[in-house]
């Protein structure tokens, strides 16, 4: 952080400001030019608030942050190398990252009954998905809307895993449910509305399962990385970032504005893998294909797509869900782009693939 | 809800659509004109999704929502009469509502130590505040920033109440902390970042203390009223809405954009009382006075203002906190506007005032 | 502007950067501390782009702007004193500024016919307005909507001025119409959609009539002041800034979000007078009263309100127009707040008032 | 448009409303169900304002727009078929549209001197671009920034065309300059800041050159199509829509948020061709490649990319400009995606290609 002193400030006042800054656990270091004095703050400035420093003296022209406020999430934390998040599933370990094939996640907004979730799991697996998504606890705008089947839906997800070997991604909304969710989920999802539910972030950071962190609907890139930092700082290094559309002034034809530029921006800021959710990102099934293809071309590491055997009867998010057939079609469209950028794996999940590693291998790799 | 059928649709298809709609727990009622057929849906349409209905048939032109999706929060729910939220405090009952004097809430962002909270409480009470605000659990963007003193801060708030008789407003961030918070708080605050933490909303709705519901930073008025609806539907009728600034494209000089038009808009939509928080709304102490005066002129029922004995040393939100002296000055400025609109009460909290009622009286009123 | 050099940068590279900067018409001045070197840029940095400087070398950590990019619009340009804009009208000179009574501007969105404009002028004058607004050239979203009566409407405005002595405010949309508009207008309005029509700004800056500059619907405060700077730089010092609502994510109940915090923010940045337009700011007649009162309480120097003899039949903007009777009522409501803050003048325009000065007096003042 | 009448409304009032509506040049048609009456409005409702109709009676529940307010821009106007915009250049006719190869437009933000514009033109042509972009008149936020070389820059563009045969795209900012610009431009650009400069839209609509209409930075898709409608309604059918990023709450790492979902959305609404400008869309050269690839994968018909021989010395928009070498590299990256979706043409401009048609052929096609 740099404190710019107004020209003409008495030396005594500069001295006083420096002493005040000393008491804030940083080392002030003065750089004096002919007309200008600046005080650089050396040390851990992540928790300092520039505006508060400004209040120390009317002779402070401006306080400017030089470093980013996130550390463990920063690309520099891994010396510029992207990290790979390995997720153990019953079929092997799946890797998310820039050097891995794109990982496909698919499934319904909410788990409605056994038949639909098993059927969906089988079909999306056959189409090439590695993970099944499905909500047990559902954040809904209206208290009168379907709120998810809760614990019983978790059991259905477990059954779908058993039937197919797919990994399971499901959302936790409350610290009180975390243990139950973690027993079933291979990846625990934090939804957009809970991106700054800091109690929840701390707790998913203090357990072992990888975490999928959705971007809040008005979260800046920096807010989002700071939320990831909560999880990382609590001890869990396995965070996947998921862009799912931000809220803007135009909501007539799409539910959100999918910010695909987040992909190259994040790649310059963080080592964490990036997933795109074009279903929430647009809110309309007919726009999912174009945005899925675009996401792959832009460099996404993973896609999460809502699929439902009968969207017109879905208990939630029907309008943005693809039918099973549409999903199969979409996979072919995505494959065209995925192959052209060299990140497509056709091998089914049951055999060893570039991004499916058995746990023994992983032990070797990690050690 | 109204389903507009395309002109030229075969009668058989209209019949089929009606039958489908029948299965959704609403009664479809056809209105046929010469060129146009519309199907009105009679019954509880609050949980229906217009876009999903549209998927029933390509012959549906459009599905239009006529009624608002909130019910208990709606002005009609009280036949157009604003409600008054009565809050019991150790000094008597304080009333929030359009027919009451403006209620002043003041205090630091976070409770830092006993001396500062007691001193602040005494001074803001002397200046005319009826409630002390102060955070024990603090939602902070950075995991490295001060997170609040938690339970021990709750004890300090209890001490400040004992010392002054002020009511206490403090935030709950996690369902696990609700019981502890409710023991100290006279009003439980749900922060902007938790406005759509539906688990938390349900639980504050299932207990007795009045709830202060802050608007999420990208929540529409409708989202906000639906969040209030969660609390109301869970059984707690005592909800106060607090506008604290929304996130817009311009964040250079203010932290948020304070949406004061929310006041007249809410007055046409809901019976719930409205509080304004100009401290978070602008993020800068120097703008608080103008926006406080404006809030009163626009019809706010209550104001919440951040005050700190020494903002430059505050552990959080220093730049937007007033000094104790500035708060006293602000109260005089607000009084000018408050008196001009007939909603200012000078009487100190210890004697009976128009908006301080003893519990016995309340029992009479309510019965 | 300050160029922060990365620690460990070779002296030779710092030298090279300094030499490059020399060629940009600014004087680089090095300040070296123990770990940190910064280069301050002395001179006219208003036209420099920080990001471009950053590209000079990979050893540049960050480039930070210290000064604001506007000069003539800055409060410092007048040594911290607000300026007063004097507008000559057929009834005398009217003054806009922080030390003057609030100036009321009222009238229809567009000039429809002689009867309506004369009637409106007479009634708003009687109610206390000093200026009549009315559009001759109308910017409309749809090419099929009424586009204004153009030149003939200018003649009707002239007739209304003759009949009432009110000053005239009307919009120019095209440089080709400027001369015609300037013949009738006492204040020339630049609409929100033309706030960054730089050709138009230069031309209204090169003529003598005062200019009302509306804020663009997604203009930051800085963008807006830079637009004012265009007019000031072209030689016209008489600019009034008008906030009319910005575009945000919530457009369900209001057309725009009226940013009243712009008032105190602008007062810390610029000397120019500030007008508020609550009619466009909310887009709904029923919200105009609350926001007008709030604007006055927040410190607005002027209000512009849409009034129409029969809003239901208005050719444009009917939903946000008050009836003549509603306007009279509003004036009484505004007077309550205006008097409480000491900025209300009851004296009719025909006699000398604090903010109506005859041209001779003005000559004395200005000389 | 549909007028929903409140249940329990007296028949006489329904009659009165119908009669009022009759006077608005539409035919009201009543549809009565058991509980509900709606009045459909048959005729040209494009210019009607739903809120204004609502004011006709307190018995009106809601007024709902069924049809889109744009007509000539609507996909239905061409029976669901995308249109192709043919642009005559000195090397032949280039076609923009969904059934044509992607058209590449490249060049500097502003034309600085002969050498740089000729060199850029030659290199981007060699790389595969069909059009040279370059600003003669530049809209700049600051009046102190370089404003473009104006007329002399137009001459340099003409020279670059002569030297290379590239088509020319350049911006007009003022109706007064239109004739001059049209003499040199093969496509006339309307910039984002002028998207609702309706005088300018009418005039470019009244001349023959194709028009590139950039989306305003806070324009909704509907606003944008209405702006296109102005040009179409004035008689010019050759409009290309260009998305260049919208303004949102997050502006820290990108200048704008590139709304790529506009591509599939527009494809369901309009027949007009779609161009993407990732340079303004992100504001940073390092993000241009990812977003260019994404735009192609999403279905863009054309790309416009800023290229400068020496971005660090560019007089405007340096930070978002690619070097000539970077552009050549980008073309290879785009080709990978372009070929995979079957919309890439390698053939140089000088020989006949699928999207380069000689004027004689065009005459045949069009006739």
> Rounded to an integer, what distance in angstroms lies between the CA atom of residue D280 and that of residue D264?
20
Q: Does residue B290 form part of some domain? A: yes
Whether D12 and D60 map to the same domain: the answer is yes
Q: Does residue D69 form part of some domain? A: no
Say whether C257 and B261 touch across the interface (CB within 8 A).
Answer: yes
User: What is the interface pTM, i.e. ipTM, of the complex?
Assistant: 0.90
CATH of the domain at C8: 3.30.70.1140
Torsion of CA B19, B23, B28, B33, to 10 degrees: -30
Residue in C32, C33, C62 nearest the CB of A66 = C62
Q: Does residue B70 form part of some domain? A: no
Whether B29 and B142 map to the same domain: the answer is no
Identify the residue among B284, B285, B294 best suited for mutation to test binding to C, counting C beta carbons within 10 A and taking the highest.
Answer: B294
Q: Does residue A14 form part of some domain? A: yes
Contact residues on chain D for B2, CB-CB shorter than 8 A: 2, 4, 36, 38, 64
Whether D49 and D90 map to the same domain: the answer is no
Q: For D152, which DSSP code?
A: H
Using CB atoms, which chains have 3+ pairs under 8 A with C?
A, B, D
Angle between helical axes of C262-269 and B285-298 (0-180°, round to 10)? 140
Contact residues on chain C for D194, CB-CB shorter than 8 A: 197
Of C64, C85, C117, at which residue does a domain stop? Answer: C64
Of C32, C64, C96, at which residue does a domain stop? Answer: C64
Whether A31 and A59 map to the same domain: the answer is yes
Identify the residue among D76, D249, D268 best suited for mutation to test binding to B, counting B beta carbons within 10 A and taking the highest.
Answer: D249
Per-residue pLDDT of chain B (367 residues; tens, 9 = 90+): 888 888 788 889 999 998 888 887 788 888 777 777 888 887 777 777 787 888 888 888 888 877 788 999 999 999 999 999 999 999 999 999 999 999 999 999 999 999 999 999 999 999 999 999 999 999 999 998 889 999 999 999 999 999 999 999 999 999 999 999 999 999 999 999 999 999 999 999 999 999 999 999 999 999 999 999 999 999 999 999 999 999 999 999 999 999 999 999 999 999 999 999 999 999 999 999 999 999 999 999 999 999 999 988 888 878 899 999 999 999 999 999 999 999 998 654 444 444 555 555 555 554 4
From B267's Cα to the closest Cα of chain A, the distance in A is 21
Whether C299 and C200 map to the same domain: the answer is yes
Per-residue pLDDT of chain A (367 residues; tens, 9 = 90+): 888 888 788 889 999 998 888 887 788 888 777 777 888 887 777 777 787 888 888 888 888 877 788 999 999 999 999 999 999 999 999 999 999 999 999 999 999 999 999 999 999 999 999 999 999 999 999 998 889 999 999 999 999 999 999 999 999 999 999 999 999 999 999 999 999 999 999 999 999 999 999 999 999 999 999 999 999 999 999 999 999 999 999 999 999 999 999 999 999 999 999 999 999 999 999 999 999 999 999 999 999 999 999 988 888 878 899 999 999 999 999 999 999 999 998 654 444 444 555 555 555 554 4
Q: Which residues contact B42 (CB under 8 A, 6 or more apart)?
A: B26, B27, B28, B29, D35, D36
Q: Does residue C332 form part of some domain? A: yes
> Rounded to an integer, what distance in angstroms lies between the CA atom of residue D220 and that of residue D224?
6
> Rounded to an integer, what distance in angstroms lies between the CA atom of residue A133 and that of residue A130?
10
How many residues would you count in chain A? 367
Contact residues on chain B for A229, CB-CB shorter than 8 A: 142-143
Whether D138 and D219 map to the same domain: the answer is yes
Work out the number of other CB atoms within 10 angstroms of the CB of residue A235. Answer: 11
Looking at chain D, the whole-number percentage of residues with pLDDT higher than 90 is: 71
Beta strand C60-64 with C2-5 is antiparallel
Q: Does residue B107 form part of some domain? A: yes
SS3 content of chain B, % helix, strand, coil (to 5): 40, 20, 40
From C203's Cα to the closest Cα of chain A, the distance in A is 32
Q: Does residue B206 form part of some domain? A: yes
Q: Does residue D70 form part of some domain? A: no
> Rounded to an integer, what distance in angstroms lies between the CA atom of residue B228 and that of residue C175?
51
Whether B29 and B84 map to the same domain: the answer is no
Whether B32 and B134 map to the same domain: the answer is no
Whether C35 and C175 map to the same domain: the answer is no
Whether D58 and D128 map to the same domain: the answer is no
Whether C49 and C124 map to the same domain: the answer is no
Dump the DSSP string for C9-72: --HHHHHHHHHHHHTTTEEEEEEE-SS-EEEEEEE--TT--HHHHHTT-TTEEEEE--S-S-ST
Whether A195 and A46 map to the same domain: the answer is no
CATH of the domain at C284: 3.20.20.70
Contact residues on chain B for A141, CB-CB shorter than 8 A: 69, 196, 223, 226
Q: Which residue of chain B is at minimal alpha-carbon distance from A68?
A: B142
> Rounded to an integer, what distance in angstroms lies between the CA atom of residue B52 and that of residue A317?
8
What's the number of domains chain A is made of? 2
- pTM flag (> 0.90): yes
- Give yes or no for a contact between D1 and D50, defined as CB atoms under 8 angstroms apart: yes
Torsion of CA A20, A26, A27, A31, to 10 degrees: -80
Contact residues on chain D for A252, CB-CB shorter than 8 A: 220-222
- What are A218-260's pLDDT values in tens digits? 999 999 999 999 999 999 999 999 999 999 999 999 999 999 9
Of B37, B64, B91, at which residue does a domain stop? Answer: B64
D316: domain range?
75-366
């Amino acid at each position: 952080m740099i404190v710019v002193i107004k020209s003409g400030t008495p030396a005594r006042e500069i001295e006083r400001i420096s002493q005040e800054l000393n008491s804030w656990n940083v080392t002030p270091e003065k750089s004096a030019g002919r007309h200008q004095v600046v005080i650089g703050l050396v040390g851990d400035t992540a928790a300092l608030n520039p505006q508060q420093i400004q209040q120390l003296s009317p002779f402070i022209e401006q306080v400017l942050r030089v470093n980013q406020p996130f550390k463990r999430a920063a690309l520099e934390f891994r010396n510029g190398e992207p990290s790979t998040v390995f997720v153990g599933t019953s079929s092997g370990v799946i890797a998310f990252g820039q050097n891995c094939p794109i990982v496909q996640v698919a499934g319904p907004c909410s788990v409605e009954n056994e038949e639909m979730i098993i059927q969906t799991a089988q079909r999306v697996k056959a189409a090439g998905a590695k993970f099944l998504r499905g909500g047990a606890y559902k954040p809904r705008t209206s208290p009168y809307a379907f709120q998810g089947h809760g614990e019983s839906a978790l059991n259905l997800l477990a059954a779908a895993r058993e039937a197919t070997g797919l990994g399971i991604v499901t959302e936790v909304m409350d610290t009180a449910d975390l243990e139950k969710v973690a027993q079933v989920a291979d990846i625990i999802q934090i939804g957009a509305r809970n991106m700054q539910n800091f109690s929840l972030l701390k707790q998913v950071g203090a357990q072992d399962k990888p975490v999928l962190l959705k971007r809040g609907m008005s979260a800046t890139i920096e807010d989002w990385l700071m939320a990831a930092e909560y999880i990382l700082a609590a001890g869990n290094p396995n965070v996947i970032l998921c862009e799912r559309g931000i809220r803007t002034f135009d909501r007539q034809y799409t539910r959100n504005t999918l910010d695909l530029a987040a992909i190259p921006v994040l790649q310059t800021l963080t080592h964490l893998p990036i997933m795109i959710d074009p279903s929430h990102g647009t809110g309309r099934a007919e726009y999912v294909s174009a945005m899925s293809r675009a996401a792959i071309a832009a460099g996404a590491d993973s896609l999460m797509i809502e699929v439902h055997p009968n969207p017109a009867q879905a208990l939630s998010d029907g309008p943005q869900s693809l039918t099973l057939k549409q999903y199969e079609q979409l996979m072919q469209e995505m494959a065209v782009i995925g192959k052209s950028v060299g990140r497509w794996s056709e091998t089914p999940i049951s055999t060893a693939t570039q991004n499916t590693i058995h746990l023994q291998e992983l032990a070797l790799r990690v050690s």
